[in-house]
């Protein structure tokens, strides 16, 4: 991959499900940031996984209004499913994703991509657990997250620190190699992707991030935790 930033293309995928209240504001914030500060060629892909509110209409309007914004609609729900489709369809040198609430500070995005271009890694993640990270979140969520990452360490002796931060990037080579191996279509997609990456010998580049918890998050913590546990045992023993 060329180290000349203007020769490198980056797709930023925003997976969404029923995000009519946040989508337009977030896309405008992200566009403004990328236009003002980001030195690589870039595009934004809104990956809507079966929203039933006005999210598809908003996404379609934004993609018509801005040539650098694309809208991908899936008829089935699942964040992992949306990322899989968007990443495999992408022609960019690097694919990435971030959560629509922009909980992770955008200041970490250029260091994340530079880790792939300049440092020659193939997988890069934001981490809320690396030295230098700043996190504001509810105590219950903080405890669950730390316990989950500790469990992964105990089961896999992995080297990456934060499996679930919604702020990741891969080279096209890594996408082609790893994404077809990932079975999960939902929230466990991130963890399985990173575990498969280490199994395949990939080193994971980590960037400490500033992260603020989304107080309006609609993630079912209990169901997600149970699905994650089942996913960990599946990956560990298959």
Q: What is the pLDDT of residues 79-135, one digit of tens each?
A: 999 999 999 999 999 999 999 999 999 999 999 999 999 999 999 999 999 999 999
Residue burial 127-148, b: 16+ Cβ < 10 Å; e: rest: bbbbeebebebeeeeeebbeeb
Q: What is the pLDDT of residues 201-237, one digit of tens each?
A: 999 999 999 999 876 655 677 788 889 999 999 999 9
Task: Give the global pTM.
Answer: 0.94
Q: Are 70 and 108 in contact (CB under 8 A)?
A: no
Which residues are marked as active site?
Answer: 190
Location of structure tokens 């657990």: 129
Domains and CATH numbers, the chain: 5-236 (3.90.550.10)
Which pLDDT value is given to residue 228? 94
pLDDT bracket for residue 141 (50, 70, 90):
confident
Three-state secondary structure call for residue 191? helix
pLDDT bracket for residue 179 (50, 70, 90):
very high
Parallel/antiparallel/unpaired status of strands 134-136 and 69-74: unpaired
Q: What is the pLDDT of residues 4-35, one digit of tens each?
A: 777 999 999 999 999 999 999 999 999 999 99
CA-CA-CA-CA torsion sign (34, 40, 43, 45): negative
Residue 44 backbone phi and psi in degrees, to 5: -115, 135
Parallel/antiparallel/unpaired status of strands 94-98 and 9-16: parallel
């Amino acid at each position: 991959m060329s180290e000349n930033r203007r020769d490198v293309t980056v797709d930023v995928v925003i997976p969404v499900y029923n995000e009519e209240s946040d989508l337009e504001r977030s896309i405008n914030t992200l566009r403004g940031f990328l236009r003002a500060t980001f030195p690589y060629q870039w595009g934004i892909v809104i990956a809507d996984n079966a929203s039933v509110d006005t999210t598809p209409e908003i996404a379609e309007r934004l993609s018509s209004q801005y040539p650098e914004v694309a809208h991908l609609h899936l008829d089935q729900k699942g964040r992992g499913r949306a990322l899989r489709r968007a990443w495999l369809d992408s022609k960019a040198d690097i694919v990435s994703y971030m959560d629509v609430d922009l909980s992770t500070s955008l200041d970490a995005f250029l260091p994340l991509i530079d880790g792939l271009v300049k440092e020659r890694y193939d997988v890069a993640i934001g981490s809320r657990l690396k030295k230098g990270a700043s996190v504001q979140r509810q105590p219950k969520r903080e405890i669950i997250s730390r316990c989950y990452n500790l469990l992964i360490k105990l089961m896999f002796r992995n080297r990456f620190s934060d499996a679930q931060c919604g702020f990741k990037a891969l080279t096209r080579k890594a996408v082609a190699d790893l994404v077809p191996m990932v079975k999960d279509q939902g929230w466990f997609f991130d963890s399985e992707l990173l575990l498969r990456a280490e199994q395949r010998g990939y080193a994971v580049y980590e960037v400490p991030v500033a992260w603020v918890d989304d107080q309006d998050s609609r993630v079912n913590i209990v169901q997600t935790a149970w699905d994650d546990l089942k996913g960990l045992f599946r990956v560990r023993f298959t």
